[in-house]
Amino acid sequence: MAPNTERQVSFPNLPYPHLRDDLPKTAHQWIDGKREQDGAEGLWRIHDGLYDFTDFVQSHPGGAQWLECTKGTDITEQFITHHLSGNAEPIIPKYFVRKTKQPRNSPFTFADDGFYSTLKSKIAEKRKEIPKDVRKKSDLITDVLLVLFLIGSPLTCWVWTQNLLLGLASTVAVSYLLTCLTICGHNYFHRTDSWRMYVFNICGFSYSEWRVTHAMSHHLHTNTAQDIELGLLEPFLQFLPNPNKPILVQMAAFYYPVIYAFVILGCLIKDVAVSLAGYRGKKLTWTNVIPFAVPVWMWLASGSYFPWVISVWLLMIILSSEFFMIFGLTAGHHSHTNFFEGDIPRSDKIDWGIHQIDTIVENIDNAGNHFKSITRFGDHALHHLFPTLDHAELKYFYPTLLEHCEKYETQLRMTNFYNALLSQSKQLIRKRPNNFREKTAK
């Protein structure tokens, strides 16, 4: 196969991600593409050093998956942003093998006196002051939502037999409940393995897939060519600015709700299909059973006709998909004023933290409210900057973040839900690039 000579638009010194546009666009596929371009030589790369963590994988405090699936790639962004306590840095020298042979395939920097590194130090200090048991609030919300869903899902089947209008209303309510529970699961798969991360699978998504496509790709390479989440809905939804974007594609600003409704079902079918096919080494595991256990539970607990239960379950998944996507795509990253691949960045090399600020317009409707934060992707700027923090902790750090932004003469932009919804439609239409270099010069 001939080498891919295509370059990124925003960072033309970097190669276009290998396999990005190839179907079926899976997590394993994205990782394999990085292995071919990151210069990690079959090991783990951090900055310009190669490390062999083979003997450390199973004892990794965060869980083995984080290291297993990233072998052969550059994990610089992941290592720096996922270790806040400072305990990891003294450990890695003993796993050092040698220096790398090629420069990093990334535009991001982490200078000691830069925006992100200095903010990270401040947050680490501030964290010592917050209540020690604050994470229990998130655990309680997640557990209560899980119990309510287990009660409400079969009850909905029974309500349909009593009154069609009430049945529809109860299905909408339980679908919203499922959405909230799923987003709660997102709070946990970013961190150390725990049983609560599996609740993310109840709706039909896969936490292990999302650990790659969301936590490793989207979070660390937000709105760049390496952000696989931007490509998953292509060609139906094209968020990247492109002067040749067809009018039919731009019309997605109006028909996107139809696409959103079938995202979860599409992901569920694709995950099972590629697992059965063994695509790029992916295999079926017991977690594939979790979403299908839901209609079985609804059938057993309600005593309803099984085909009818399946119909109610599918409607529930469709509605939940709509809620999930709308909340997710209005959380901060899909505004037409944000940076996307195709725009002109501040510079060819940019501090990772400043890049995150350029890709976020914070939804102020969710700010500081713990329930909204954990169930609607709230407090999104700090969540992206420090993804291993619990959503219950985030509100304590906003004064520090805002003060830090002012010091570095940058700004955390704000919006509300309705303006964010309108802005993501404008982004689907947008063809012209934003010029962040010009804005910085001013």
The structure's pTM equals 0.94
The answer to whether residue 188 is domain-embedded is: yes
The answer to whether residue 400 is domain-embedded is: yes
Chain mean position to CA 24: 19
pLDDT of residue 4: 55
C-alpha 148/C-alpha 155 separation (Å) is 10
3-state helix, strand, coil in the chain (%, to 5): 60, 5, 35
pLDDT at 87 over 90: no
**Residue span of the structural domain in which 367 resides:** 111-442
Mean pLDDT for the stretch of residues 46-66: 94
How far are the Cα atoms of 76, 267, 297, 312 from residue 149, in angstroms, in the given order?
Answer: 39, 21, 11, 14
The answer to whether residue 392 is domain-embedded is: yes
What average pLDDT does the chain have? 95
Do 360 and 380 contact (CB within 8 A), yes or no? yes
pLDDT at 440 over 90: no
Angle between helices 417-429 and 252-261 (to 10 degrees): 110
> What are the residues whose beta carbons fall under 8 Å from the beta carbon of 264, sequence distance 6 or more?
203, 204, 205, 317, 318, 320, 321, 324
pLDDT tens column, 246-300? 999 999 999 999 999 999 999 999 999 999 999 988 999 999 999 999 999 999 9
Do 70 and 44 contact (CB within 8 A), yes or no? yes
Q: Where are the beta strands (DSSP E) in 288-410?
A: 350-351, 361-363
Task: Please state the length of the chain.
Answer: 442
How far are the Cα atoms of 74, 115, 150, 280, 323 from residue 54, in angstroms, in the given order?
Answer: 15, 32, 40, 21, 41
pLDDT of residue 442: 55
pLDDT of residue 20: 93
Peptide bond before residue 235 is cis, with ω within 30 degrees of 0: yes
The answer to whether residue 370 is domain-embedded is: yes
How many domains does the structure of the chain reveal?
1
The answer to whether residue 13 is domain-embedded is: no
Confidence of residue 2 (pLDDT cuts 50, 70, 90): very low
pLDDT of residue 281: 86
Do 377 and 186 contact (CB within 8 A), yes or no? yes
The answer to whether residue 293 is domain-embedded is: yes
Q: What are phi and psi of 66, to 5 degrees?
A: -55, -40
pLDDT at 179 over 90: yes
Mean pLDDT for the stretch of residues 314-327: 98
Q: What is the DSSP letter of 184?
A: H
Mean pLDDT for the stretch of residues 147-156: 98
pLDDT at 364 over 50: yes
Confidence of residue 441 (pLDDT cuts 50, 70, 90): low
Peptide bond before residue 24 is cis, with ω within 30 degrees of 0: yes
pLDDT of residue 44: 97
The answer to whether residue 96 is domain-embedded is: no
Buried b (16+ CB within 10 A) or exposed e, 382-414: bbbbbbbbbbbbbbbbbebbeebbeebebebbe
Look at residue 128 and give its three-state secondary structure. Answer: coil
pLDDT at 1 over 60: no
The answer to whether residue 64 is domain-embedded is: no
pLDDT tens column, 36-49? 999 999 999 999 99
Helical (H) or strand (E) element with 44: strand 44-46
pLDDT of residue 3: 47
